[in-house]
Amino acid sequence: RAFLYRLWKGTVSSKMLNPRLQKAMRYYMSFNKHGVRFRRRREARRTGPELLCELRRRVRVRTLDGKEPPFSALGWRPLVPGVPLSQLHPRGLHSCAVVMSAGAILNSSLGEEIDSHDAVLRFNSAPTRGYEKDVGNKTTMRIINSQILANPSHHFIDSSLYKDVILVAWDPAPYSANLNLWYQKPDYNLFTPYIQHRRRNPTQPFYILHPKFIWQLWDIIQENTREKIQPNPPSSGFIGILIMMSLCREVHVYEYIPSVRQTELCHYHELYYDAACTLGAYHPLLYEKLLVQRLNMGTQADLHHKGKVVLPGFRTLRC
Ligand code: C5P
């Protein structure tokens, strides 16, 4: 529990993680699969409000528009949705919920509160059916990683989880964001199923995040963290929070920074235990959470009991 108290206060460091997680972090650090180049300037200890303005200044949600090689030559221009993600709700959404898939949301009874928001973001294959009391049943948008599209076990093409929602997919590209290299060697091939899905469901908004957007978020996390962070993309959760801060006037994030209900249960919908799901091994998850903790405008009681962080949308900030 000492760890959790320090996470709530923003005073944890990776040295307090269990030895197995620390070892995994060191492994990813030396492997540097995506060729990340650490630049020097880090430590910048910005306050919450300063950090918010920095995020607003720099974060631009970007998706593949089919205008750049190799996608331009592959005929992606007419394949991608005509309306950009940032224009889907031109006047902005008012209040939005970001529902993390953490085990800690079980027995929270947060479902009704979550559904009361104008838009609800969920991740990957996280279900609502059977869990409505705790997670609600409204889904406006789903962020999915490339494994969901590429791995047949997820039934991406016919599962109802991926119908009638805005879909936003991503895959770890090289840090250089060289689209040709990425296209030749994605982590999981999301391109073929994307094309197939677009052809079959041309009216469903479905985007692929631009690698530049993902690595821009990574740069911001590293620049605002004293320690060296894992040279891997931020988690879907962090990506989703920043997308919603761009689209909504107010963002309520559930069970990202864990509540008192936290255990090692990875997901609410799966009997699998691993502390890495909450604290990170591959993703720089602990550092993402420390950053989000600094931005929290909600109450400590909501953080402890609901696992809820409240963040302002970029358009409401006066910078
Ligand atoms: O595991 P998955 O990536 O599908 O979960 C969605 C997001 O929820 C993660 O990217 C992570 O940000 C967050 N999460 C968490 N703690 C967990 C499980 C998920 O913070 N135990």
Q: Is 279 in the pocket of ligand 1 (CB under 6 A)?
A: no
Distance 142 CA to ligand 1 centre (A): 13
Q: Is 147 in the pocket of ligand 1 (CB under 6 A)?
A: no
Instruction: Please tell me the residue having the least CA distance from ligand 1 atom 4.
Output: 124
CA distance 3 to 1: 5
- The pLDDT tens digits for 144-162 are 999 999 999 999 999 999 9
Please count the structural domains in the chain: 1
- Please choose from 3, 4, 7, 100 the residue to mutate so as to test ligand 1's pocket, defined by most ligand atoms within 8 A of CB: 100
CA distance 295 to 227: 19
Helix (H) or strand (E) holding 273, with range, is strand 270-273
Q: Output the domain CATH number for residue 127.
A: 3.90.1480.20
pLDDT at 44 over 80: no
Q: Is 258 in the pocket of ligand 1 (CB under 6 A)?
A: no
Distance 277 CA to ligand 1 centre (A): 6
CA distance 71 to 104: 41
Q: Is 241 in the pocket of ligand 1 (CB under 6 A)?
A: no
Q: Would the ipTM clear 0.90, i.e. be above it? A: yes
Q: Is 278 in the pocket of ligand 1 (CB under 6 A)?
A: yes
Cα dihedral sign for 226, 227, 232, 235?
negative
Query: What is the arithmetic mean of pLDDT over 127-137?
Result: 98
pLDDT at 43 over 70: no
Query: What is the arithmetic mean of pLDDT over 95-122?
Result: 98
- The pLDDT tens digits for 261-319 are 999 999 999 999 999 999 999 999 999 999 999 999 999 999 999 999 999 999 999 99
Distance 319 CA to ligand 1 centre (A): 31
Query: What is the arithmetic mean of pLDDT over 182-186?
Result: 98
Helix, strand or coil, per DSSP, at residue 207: strand
pLDDT at 248 over 70: yes
Distance 218 CA to ligand 1 centre (A): 17
Predicted pLDDT at 39: 80
Predicted pLDDT at 1: 81
pLDDT at 115 over 90: yes
Query: What is the arithmetic mean of pLDDT over 107-126?
Result: 98
Q: Is 111 in the pocket of ligand 1 (CB under 6 A)?
A: no
- The pLDDT tens digits for 216-232 are 999 999 999 999 999 99
First to last CA, the chain: 37
Q: Is 102 in the pocket of ligand 1 (CB under 6 A)?
A: yes
Could you give the percent of the chain with pLDDT greater than 90? 96
Predicted pLDDT at 58: 96
Q: Is 262 in the pocket of ligand 1 (CB under 6 A)?
A: no
Give the range of the structural domain holding residue 229, as residue numbers without chain letter.
Answer: 2-316
Structure confidence at residue 40 as a pLDDT band (50, 70, 90):
low
pLDDT at 22 over 70: yes
Query: What is the arithmetic mean of pLDDT over 245-260?
Result: 98
pLDDT at 42 over 80: no
- The pLDDT tens digits for 46-105 are 999 999 999 999 999 999 999 999 999 999 999 999 999 999 998 889 999 999 999 999
